[in-house]
Amino acid sequence: MNVSADKNAKLIKEEAIRLGFSNVGFAKAVPLDDDARRLEQWLSKGYNAGMGYMTNHFDLRVDPTKLVPGARSVITLTMNYFPASVQQSDTPKIAKYAWGTDYHYVIREKLNQLLAYMNSTIGTVEGRGFVDSAPVLERTWAVRSGLGWVGKNGNVLTKQNGSFFFIATLITDLELTPDAPFTTDHCGTCTRCIDACPTDAIVSPTEIDANKCISYLTIELKDALIPQEFNGKMEGWMFGCDICQDVCPWNRFSKPNTEPYFTPIPEILNLSLKQWDELGEEGFNKVFKNSPVKRSKWKGIQRNLKLIS
């Protein structure tokens, strides 16, 4: 047993929880050969839709030592974003992850604080933190770190908290005692997420065709129009989609988050479709300056509103 690897893992977990992360797990930094094959198959089917960037830096996605030379451990952290509030019934629907301040800002700062803590407490540590902004297979590392399993909707699930959480990774050259990987799938025969998807985007368990996904269509798709085949299928979603999470039985265990930065922007909860139309580009840019919603830009929001009006 490596006493220092155990001790350092304990220190890091305690500090991460103090910083507001929900769960923390460790895995050895090794090439992800099986995932490389699965990713190649998924890309070959064109399921990445217009997200061409997913074909870039393939070797970096499947080998953490190419992202951080000398990497020995991958730290995976989750942060709950489930809100206590609900949107008004006449408000265009926005995915819950986007209700507050952009999570990239919030989590990146906490990762920097964690890395600074590691350097001051343990010694010189080389590492890089990633929050949905680099070629990292977060879900795989979450499973390998013992944090949960990948559900049929493609999200990482836990029995304690469901799936409404962000996943971040910190790749480091520090040796840490790895956690036991998660090996049990607790979805069983349930197919609620597959059955509930109005666009049939879940083509098989854990396999998502982004071309049909409402989240892709309302955020990533940059075309002037959403394809006509999706008329009448958007179910009121203006930015993102939570259908496959909302129907998941495990999310009955979701608890409201305690992160002040994730406090919902009032307009997200309350603006009616008419008020969204009247908001205008200047108002949109002001209200959503620090929000993930700004990613669609005002033109994208206008396009999306037309499809649900």
**Structure token pair of residue 293:** 């919603």
Q: How far is CA 213 from CA 18, 86, 208, 238, in A?
A: 36, 23, 8, 13
CA distance 112 to 123: 15
State the Cα–Cα distance between residues 138 and 10, nearest whole angstrom: 21
Query: β-strands 237-239, 93-94: how paired?
Result: parallel
3-state DSSP of the chain: CCHHHHHHHHHHHHHHHHHCCCEEEEEECCCCHHHHHHHHHHHHCCCCCCCHHHHCCHHHHCCHHHHCCCCCEEEEEEEECCCCCCCCCCCCEECHHHCCCCHHHHHHHHHHHHHHHHHHHCCCCCEEEECCCCCCCHHHHHHHCCCCEECCCCCEEECCCECCEEEEEEEECCCCCCCCCCCCCCCCCCCHHHHHCCCCCEEECCEECHHHCHHHHHHHCCCCCCCHHHCCCCCCEEECCCHHHHCCHHHHHCCCCCCHHHCCCHHHHHCCHHHHHHHHHHHHHHHCCCCHHHHHHHHHHHHHHHHHC
User: Looking at residue 282, what DSSP letter applies?
Assistant: H
Which residues are identified as catalytic?
132
Q: Are 92 and 276 in contact (CB under 8 A)?
A: yes
